[in-house]
A and B are shown apart, each in its own frame.
Chain A
Amino acid sequence: MSDTAVTAKSYRATIAGVLAVVIVLWSVVPLLWMLLTAFKPQTAINTSTPVLAFAPTLENFIRLFTGGNSIGPYILNSVLASVGSTVIAVGLGTMAGYGLSRWKSRAKGNLSFWIISTRMAPIAAVIVPLFVIFRQFGLINSVPGLIVAYLTFNLPFAIWLMSAFFAEVPTALQEAAQIDGCNKWQAFRLVVLPTTLPGMIATAVLCTVFSWNDYAFATAFSGPESQTLPMSAGSLITQTGTDWGQLCALGIITVLPMIVIGLLVRRHLVTGMSMGAVTGE
């Protein structure tokens, strides 16, 4: 390689480095600012010029957990609703996803289409009929109601994604197991299922993130008995003013578990977020 080519290459690498710093800053500055604000005393927040030097305090977090509006119960509701709907969605979705991936029929295209349009239906269009139905069955303002509501997007997602993961498992693997004396169910449970375990975990994580972050369904169907974390963020805004310190503390509490589990399955994120359409070839 000639000298000019080498300089051109290192020149390009420098530009890429600088641009990378810019896009990382664009992505994380709001988050860092939220983190800083969560530890700021009130006086360091309401300033017209941003303050970087302040005495860190846990006051915002303490106030979130004390008093009549403690978020403790809301954390529990959030966990119950998202874990509940995730377990049901992944359980049923795994079975259906396997069936879908092994099914050879002309109707398969139609079925796939129905599943994806269920997942992507506008939230507002789903909420209206569910609200009327929930009123009839007394599911308003209850955690089971939220679990059912979250199934409307988590179940089709789990079916679709698991079928993409199962499609990557060669049928020969299962046939070999059956030749070795397994029945169909044993072959599925002992041979096919373990190979898709990482995919199952990724599906579960994404289902949890989707339902944990939901605000629209929660505000439509929940009341004081089943309030979730995103809902309590909405209720911290009052006419008299917004307590940004508490809101930022709440934001940190809400996002931290999702970042942790989300980055754990980073390898599978692209498959999950594109519903298997990119890597599930």
Chain B
Amino acid sequence: MMLPALAVLAAVSVVPFISLIVMSFSSVKLLGGVGMTLLGLGNWTAVLTDSQTWHAWLVTIEFFVLAVGMEMIFGTIFALILNSLRRARSIAFSLVLLPMFLAPITVGLLGNYLLDPTIGLYSWVLRVVGLLPAGHSLLGQQSTALLAVATLDAWQWIPLVTLIVLAGLSSVNPSVLEAASVDGAGYVRTLYSIVFPTIAPVLLVALLVRSMDAIRYYDIVKITTGGGPANASWVISLQLNEKVQATSLDGITTLIGQASVIGITMLVFTTIIANLFVRVLDRRGLTR
């Protein structure tokens, strides 16, 4: 029963994977029909000795820490707030979820609009409270661009973490909380000693799901800063994208081979996280 699906999945995953590896050792031309010539390790040395590759990875890791960090922290805080609501919890929950349904490209464009230095609503607010000089844009400055992009990503995906943590919170035993409060435990103490240990596995799942996605998506960065200013938000997928569109000096062969090398390094990164994910599930007996 699994055969038809696995055959299709193999066609759309294994075949591209193998050609990715082959291409990483070849030079690929697209003009006048697709053609490949084996090149050996040329692409690999070209990519690994390019300082821009390393810069892109560094930016990616910064983005990763900023975005996933904000999502985990605020996602948990949002869930705790919603969970302690007595009234209107359902409607508040639905409203908080909304950003998740937007296309990432729409999130990026909306970010451009709200942070526009002349007509942006949020730029205006920041200007009025004196946090932003006139004519400045958070996305346009080297010091704040990456943070702004990461915040846009967080705005969209905090709801996902909230959703997952809320599900975890529903498994916290109310009578244990009651007992803790009778024993005189404060809110913070209760969180640390009872709530967090209970929802730890769920937090880990949220962290892994978001980690894989943070490397995966690039729509928001592409449409807002395009990697700039001065490469301040140049994440690895933009570097790969640039290599796909570039042609080498002879004007015929492409740099797709180099792009493939970058693709493989990204895959390795995600594979490690996916491995952790499955291992976490394994411990909970899900994949058995």
Chain A interface residues toward B at CB < 8 A:
12-13, 16-17, 19-20, 23-24, 26-31, 33-34, 37, 45-50, 88, 92-93, 95-96, 98-100, 103, 108-109, 112-118, 120-133, 135-136, 148, 151-152, 155-156, 159, 164, 167, 209, 212-216, 229-230, 233-234, 237, 242, 244, 247-248, 251, 254-255, 258-259, 262-263, 266, 269-270, 273-281
Contact = CB atoms under 8 A, between A and B. Distances in A.
Interface of B: 1-2, 4-6, 8-9, 12-13, 15-17, 19-20, 23, 28, 30, 34, 78, 81-82, 84-88, 92, 94-106, 109-110, 112-114, 118-119, 121, 124, 155, 159-160, 163-164, 166-168, 187, 202, 205-206, 209, 212-213, 215-219, 223, 237, 240-241, 244, 256, 259-260, 262-264, 266-267, 270-271, 273-275, 277-278, 280-282, 284, 286-288
Contacts of B86: 13, 16
9 closest A-B pairs by beta carbon, nearest first, are A96-B5, A125-B263, A129-B16, A99-B2, A213-B103, A92-B5, A120-B212, A215-B105, A99-B1
Contact of A128 (B85, B109, B159, B244): B244
29 contacts: A12-B84, A16-B85, A23-B78, A24-B92, A24-B95, A27-B95, A33-B114, A48-B124, A95-B2, A96-B4, A109-B282, A113-B278, A118-B13, A123-B218, A124-B266, A133-B19, A135-B34, A151-B12, A155-B12, A214-B103, A215-B219, A216-B218, A230-B105, A248-B113, A254-B106, A262-B97, A262-B101, A276-B286, A278-B205
Contacts of A159: 5, 9
Contacts of B223: 215, 234, 237
Contact of A45 (B13, B99, B119): B119
B153 to A, nearest CB: 13
Report which residue of B101, B160, B274 has the largest number of chain A beta carbons within 10 angstroms of its beta carbon.
B101
A98 B100 CA distance: 29
A135 B262 CA distance: 21
Contacts of A12: 84, 187
Contacts of A116: 274, 277-278
A95 B217 CA distance: 29
Contacts of B262: 124-125
B124 A132 contact: no
Nearest to B94: A263
Given A24-B95, A121-B13, A266-B97, 8 more contacts: A109-B278, A125-B266, A126-B16, A128-B260, A135-B30, A247-B113, A270-B166, A281-B284
